[in-house]
Amino acid sequence: MAWTVGALAFAAGSYALFSAGIWVGGIVLALLAALLLVFVFYREPGSHKRHDKPPARNLKRTRGR
């Protein structure tokens, strides 16, 4: 009886840990995917705009004035 209860408790605990690991892993993967998408879509055009436009404006202002 004790062996069956222990086996059931171990199976339930391992299943709970497994499902929690899937949840945590899925959340972490989703966060990493979101960060990657944000980095790819917002960093690249933003970096090009930030590197190209403000220095050009600053150079035009400083040269004009």
Query: pTM for the full model?
Result: 0.42
Compute and round to an integer the Cα radius of gyration of the chain.
27
Estimate the share of the chain in helix, then strand, then coil, as percent rounded to the nearest 5: 95, 0, 5
Residue 4 — pLDDT band, cuts 50, 70, 90? very high
Mean pLDDT across the chain: 76
Residue 7: inside a domain, yes or no? yes
Give per-residue burial for 5-44: e unless 16+ CB within 10 Å, then b.
Answer: eeeeeeeeeeeeeeeeeeeeeeeeeeeeeeeeeeeeeeee
Residue 58: inside a domain, yes or no? no
Total domains, the chain: 1
Q: What is the pLDDT of residue 62?
A: 59
Q: Which domain holds residue 34?
A: 1-45
Residue 54: inside a domain, yes or no? no
Higher pLDDT, 4 or 54: 4
Q: How many helices (H) and strands (E) does the chain have?
A: 2, 0
